[in-house]
Structure 1
Amino acid sequence: MTTRPVTPSCIPGLGVIIMAAGQGKRMQSKLAKVLHPVAGKPMVLYVVELACRLADRGVAVIVGYQGDAVRAVVEAADGRVAVAEQARQLGTGHAVLQARPIFAETPAGRPSRYLILNGDTPLLTETTVRALVALHDERKAAVTLLTAVLDDAAGYGRVIRRRRDEWREGSPENAVETIVEDTDASPEERLVREINVGTYVVEGEFLFPALDRLDPRNAQGEYYLTDIVRQAVRQGQSVAALRLPSIEEGLGINSRAHLADAERVIRRRIRARWLEAGVTMRDPDSAWIDAGVTIGRDAVLYPHVTLEGRTVIGEDSTIHSGVRIADCVLGSRVEILDHCVLRDSRIEDDAHLGPFVHLRPGVLIRRSAKVGNFVEMKKTELGEGAKANHLSYLGDATIGKGVNIGAGTITCNYDGAHKHRTVIGDRVFLGSDTQLVAPVTVGEGAVIAAGTTVTQDVPADALAIARAPQVNRAGWAAKRRALLAGGESLPAANKPASSKAGQPRKASRKSSGKELPRRPR
């Protein structure tokens, strides 16, 4: 195990073991339970991050089902976390036992006590865990466990005390005697509403010898971690318990319903944290903010904003309604108007986007640039102060400072087999309905006339025009209106008349001795 730097928040002598080996069958999923995301982050990472803030003698994560995938997620989050595998699922006690070789190699010395956590408890708070460790130290206990009281305790391990008619913290007559799993409980024990949350602090010298003595003769045929409580009592050692005032943070996620509940709680906490940090939310309940998002002071979020992944919002920026931003970095004083979708892009200070802008991955919007209605961009840099205000597609392009992109401009970047780049120099003016067939370069200061299809490089300061010449036919419209007003029929546009043999023949341009106006071309 790699030595972890000790920080002021670490608890001296504490090692942490996280159980993350289970499949989670009730989730009805192909994905291991602990990898299901809560507020955009795999639930196991909430537990790993909590453990890393507290332990100075190392963190071990026990993996099993889809172990390679869980290992990859955990090690990517913190390379100093050690991972052990539970190859056979033989119970929680057997899972914890797999951590022994890891802590035997700890350079800083073996832990004086172990914190044991479940990888499916993302709601557990640091405040609660610190209180649990403090109680353990105060009582000089061999085992200290976290408990809660439920109206319906079915399915959970029951905490059995010497006297259960009234509960008083620390009272000798209320001392914990044992924990009985639901499947092994007697009818009387099933009436107990105090449950084991599954979070423990265990003395270092007691833990692994107690695990070696576990007996799998029970309803599940497994090595129960909870049996170490009975062992401690038999040895005359103290077993302490900390009762949660609210069950919310203690229960593990075992179903999709639990997952949805956890999502609501985590997102509520996230919103509260950013409100406290100086972010304005017009309708906090509708703001959807992932755990990895960072928001600057005095930013404003309008209703129904979604911020995902590792998004960063700068100070004094404003995000209007219906906007979805994923893995983007926004500078200060950026304004995003309604109904934009931005992904994996960077927007510098004072830029203005929207409404209805779509930024695909790889876009860079420089300072004070503007992107307007119904503009889509991909792998494109829009220069400082440049404008693309209307109805354009800009892909695989580099666009310089002060450029004006006319409405309807398209960079034709794909030839059916390969993508090609378009380069537009500083201060270029592109007229409306311009197509740039890549690869092509437009030099600085050039002007592209409206309706032009650019297929060749344009020199700096040149005017490029590529379109058919306009033809005006005098009086055509007046003649047409006169014929229609007189009730005379006009020949079908571009439709040849049929001969008796079924072959097309030329339509006559004469009717009643009058020449019909030609269609404009």
Structure 2
Amino acid sequence: MSLEIIILAAGKGTRMCSTLPKVLHKIAGKSMLGHVIECARKLTPQKIHVVVGHGAELVKEQFVADDLNFVIQEQQLGTGHAVATAVPYVNADNVLILYGDVPLIEENTLRALLQKVQVKSLGLLTVTLTDPTGYGRIIRDQKGNVVAIVEQKDASESQKQITEGNTGILALPSEPLKKWLSQLSNKNTQGEYYLTDIIAMAVADSYTIVTNQPQSEMEVQGANDRIQLAQLERFYQLRAAQQLMKQGVSLIDPHRFDLRGEIVVGSDIEIDINVILEGKVVIEDNVSIGANCIIKNSILRKGVVIKPNSHIDGAILGEESDVGPFARLRPGTILHENTHVGNFVELKNTSLGNYSKVGHLTYLGDTEVGSYCNIGAGTITCNYDGVNKYKTILGNEVFIGSNSSLVAPVVIGDAATTAAGSTITRDVAANSLAIGRAQQIQKDNWQKPKPNK
């Protein structure tokens, strides 16, 4: 049967004490609403209807997509009223109702609920809580059948003792839903139209209420303030850490690890404390990542070693390359096999050939470095004239002396050497020594020093 999803995301979130709409506050680098939409899409609905109110334009700007229909709830008059604003746009047989501030709901939980919904039945996700304060209580008859939901503020003292709470997540046929919504009343303590009142209406119409529960109560926990937001963040991160460890990743301390994106991993990977992975990251076999590293939108090939306090963003690291400590690789950086980037080195839009080394205190921008090169400490490429960027190209087996400035555009030929402290402003021929301390001198057919016996 066809399915459409309604996500309620109109709340202001007063307790967040923020001008940002509540559903745009982030868990693991992604907005709460973003998490819910991502989960909803996995169910392949025909359409997703997002009910927005406070900060509607800001929400819509962040989630423009063909499969999303935004519905404005001008006044926030309760969950029943919110669903009623979206229902006229629903054409599918069944409807699933989700919440934009319940970000950790899982696909498997929702699929299990949907599978229970048959003819003349309504699916309700409930949760058994150690402390159900604030939740609507599930009222069952003597046979265990759900007959109603009573909100906390309207519950009697005996009803408040019930530990089975309502998550608000419903799966049900669309046609009777439209009828029940039209019959809702706001004669209650809050003066709102409760979506939960349709449960009693469904029972009166001889519908069976089928229930299912999530594996953890945190999966259906909403975030109404920053304390709850932080609790959800840590639960998400610990769950992500546990999943990675099951795949062969060793985390020195799973409680000090953060994943803020998507990751593909091999086996025998070791990650030290306080590592943050952002965006799309691929980590192949036998990679080691030191403490306090940030890795974003990058690929780490087999055997890569990243030493502590390094930042990797938009880079590809070849097999057996090593980086850091305190290194920064910016977007467009490619390290080929067995390369070395040392402490306080920054590379941007730079390719480093096989077995080449950049040991210390160096900046290379818009640079192509061949194989078996050595870049001395304090070297910089002067790639920007204030308006335009230019390239620096180094051939194979080039040796750059310490404290050299390579003024782009410049090409340094194979096996050439620049003397320490030189400013190189013109191309350097292969197999030559360039000295640019005062006036650049080139010695052709210069023989490199050989190791002492």
* Alignment TM-score, normalising by the size of structure 2: 0.87
How far apart, CA to CA, are the structure 2 residues paired with 1:52 and 1:356?
Answer: 40
2:400 alignment counterpart: 430
State whether structure 2 residue 17 is matched by structure 1 residue 28: yes
Write the letter of the residue equivalent to 1:92: T
Q: State the number of aligned residues.
A: 439
State whether structure 2 residue 100 is matched by structure 1 residue 122: no
How far apart, CA to CA, are the structure 1 residues paired with 2:194 and 2:161?
Answer: 21
1:133 alignment counterpart: 114
Which of 434, 452, 464 pairs up with 2:422?
A: 452
2:380 alignment counterpart: 410
Q: Give CA deviations for 1:119-158 in whole Å, capped at 9, x if unaligned.
A: 2222223333233234433xx5543322224344333323
Q: SS of 1:374's equivalent?
A: strand
Q: Give CA deviations for 1:325-373 in whole Å, capped at 9, x if unaligned.
A: 1222222222212221112222223322122211233322223321112
Q: SS of 2:220's equivalent?
A: coil
1:147 alignment counterpart: 126
Structure that is richer in strand per residue: 2
Structure 1 position 256, deviation (Å): 1.2
How far apart, CA to CA, are the structure 2 residues paired with 1:195 and 1:14?
Answer: 25
How far apart, CA to CA, are the structure 2 residues paired with 1:294 and 1:63?
Answer: 34
Structure 2 matches for 1:255-294, cutoff 5 A?
A: 255-294=225-264
Which of 28, 31, 37 pairs up with 2:26?
A: 37
Query: Percent of aligned positions with the same letter in both sequences?
Result: 41
Structure 1 position 183, deviation (Å): 3.7
How far apart, CA to CA, are the structure 2 residues paired with 1:373 and 1:399?
Answer: 18
Are the aligned partners of 1:142 and 1:206 in contact in 2 as well (CA < 8 Å)? Answer: no
2:87 alignment counterpart: 100
Q: SS of 2:230's equivalent?
A: helix
Q: Give CA deviations for 1:162-197 in whole Å, capped at 9, x if unaligned.
A: 46xxxxxxx2xx433322333444555445443211
Structure 1 position 279, deviation (Å): 2.2
Are the aligned partners of 2:79 and 2:195 in contact in 1 as well (CA < 8 Å)? Answer: yes
Q: Higher Cα Rg: structure 1 or 2?
A: 1
Structure 1 position 465, deviation (Å): 0.5
Are the aligned partners of 1:446 and 1:461 in contact in 2 as well (CA < 8 Å)? Answer: yes
Q: Give CA deviations for 1:29-73 in whole Å, capped at 9, x if unaligned.
A: 222222222122222233223222224544333233333443344
* CA RMSD of superposed structures (Å): 2.7
2:77 alignment counterpart: 90
Are the aligned partners of 1:13 and 1:55 in contact in 2 as well (CA < 8 Å)? Answer: no
2:449 alignment counterpart: none
How far apart, CA to CA, are the structure 1 residues paired with 2:61 and 2:236?
Answer: 24
Unaligned residue ranges in structure 1 (runs of 5+): 1-11, 105-109, 164-170, 470-521
Structure 2 matches for 1:54-453, cutoff 5 A?
A: 54-75=43-64, 79-104=66-91, 110-111=92-93, 113-137=94-118, 140-162=119-141, 171=143, 174-186=144-156, 189-243=159-213, 246-416=216-386, 419-453=389-423
Are the aligned partners of 1:270 and 1:291 in contact in 2 as well (CA < 8 Å)? Answer: no
Q: 1:332 to 1:86 in 2, by over 3 A?
A: farther
Q: Which moved more, 1:140-149 or 1:186-195?
A: 186-195
Are the aligned partners of 2:258 and 2:275 in contact in 1 as well (CA < 8 Å)? Answer: yes
Are the aligned partners of 1:148 and 1:245 in contact in 2 as well (CA < 8 Å)? Answer: no
How far apart, CA to CA, are the structure 2 residues paired with 1:350 and 1:226?
Answer: 58
Unaligned residue ranges in structure 2 (runs of 5+): 440-453
How far apart, CA to CA, are the structure 2 residues paired with 1:399 and 1:364?
Answer: 10
Write the letter of the residue equivalent to 1:26: R
Structure 1 position 199, deviation (Å): 0.7
How far apart, CA to CA, are the structure 2 residues paired with 1:319 and 1:401?
Answer: 25
1:475 alignment counterpart: none
